[in-house]
Amino acid sequence: MNDIVLSTRVRLARNIKGRPFVNNSSLAMQKELEQAVINQIAKSGEYSVMTMDSISELERQMLFESHQISRELAANTQSGAVCLKKNSRVSVMINEEDHIRIQAISNGFSLEESLEQAVQADKELQEMGLEFARDANWGYLTCCPTNLGTGMRASAMVHLPAIALTKRMQTVMDNMSKLGITIRGMFGEGSEAKGDIYQISNRITLGNTRSEIVKLVKNTCEQLIKSETEIREALKSNNYIADRICRAYGILTNARLLSRDEFMSLFSDIKLGIGMGLITAENEADLDSLIVDVQPAVISRKEGKELTQAQRDEIRARLVADRISQTQIN
């Protein structure tokens, strides 16, 4: 299933009791809250803390591209901060849409693991002395009404090339919407689905328990896996698809310059080839890490300096060729 469900995430929206929401707070109030929360979290020694105004634009973009912070937090250079839990993929964002956004990410189809990590972080923050705004009837109070209740978003990053190739994606999106599921691009709201990678998540939190939300997203993933797998099976005898996959392999192992968008499109074909048994990959997880490793800011950050687009394209081509060369066409 990991070749279709790439990763899962659980995000919890929380606000500090007795304080106005971020969108109704002055900058001074936001800065005060930022410092108060950081002070509480820093005492634990379990998190590394970064304020958005203390790091470079490149570092902020790198954190966004690696899914550690949201686009909105990266843009909040006046009062935003993130606390990254050591030795895990848990992050606590401060002054995003809500006072606090806790998120936990796991590789593969591991929604329960993501939920467990997010709930544990939520519990730890409360034990540190943070008291969250909650109503007996409405649950956790949030800036956006759609987050009321559990304040929870469960999501999965899914790769659906066969559904996309056969022009069935719009039908899938319409059906998912009826079930209370939202489908977005790889970087969430407002982003495009590069490389046939989509983010699916629950739309409403009010009236549903955490386990019910996880069950909804999990069941949706299982339906998508079934549909994607069936279509892939039907495509195995399609010589055009096999040729397309082999051409992608040839370009990615020989290109001298490679843009991010071209990579995402061709890498989708490589992943499809692996899923259909046309390509053998001993370490698919290592391949999947390319999705983050080839992002512009991630490349520049690794090189330790700002790079031109041409320089990034050259480095990206070498990196991708090295990884893809470790696979084999059957």
Between CA 145 and CA 240 the distance in angstroms is: 47
What are the pLDDT digits (tens) for 253-283? 999 999 999 999 999 999 999 999 999 998 8
8 A C-beta contact, residue 8 and residue 106? yes
State residue 208's pLDDT score.
87
Quick one: pLDDT band at residue 190, thresholds 50, 70, 90?
low
Helix (H) or strand (E) holding 278: none
Please tell me whether the overall predicted TM-score, pTM, comes out greater than 0.85 for this model: yes
State residue 66's pLDDT score.
92
Between CA 254 and CA 248 the distance in angstroms is: 10
Tell me the HSE value of 282 on the side-chain side, using a 13 A CA sphere: 5
The amino acid at 294: V
State residue 204's pLDDT score.
81
What are the pLDDT digits (tens) for 136-177? 989 999 998 888 899 999 999 999 999 999 999 889 989 988
pLDDT at 93 over 70: yes
State residue 72's pLDDT score.
93
Look up residue 77 and give its two tokens: 């250079």
pLDDT at 1 over 60: no
Look up residue 13 and give its two tokens: 């929206």
State residue 59's pLDDT score.
95
Residues in the chain: 330
Q: Count Cβ neighbours within 10 Å for each residue of 222-235 and write b for 16 or more, e otherwise.
A: eebbebbbebbeeb
State residue 143's pLDDT score.
92
Q: Which domains does the chain have, with CATH numbers?
A: 5-231 (3.30.590.10), 239-329 (no CATH)
Look up residue 2 and give its two tokens: 């990991």
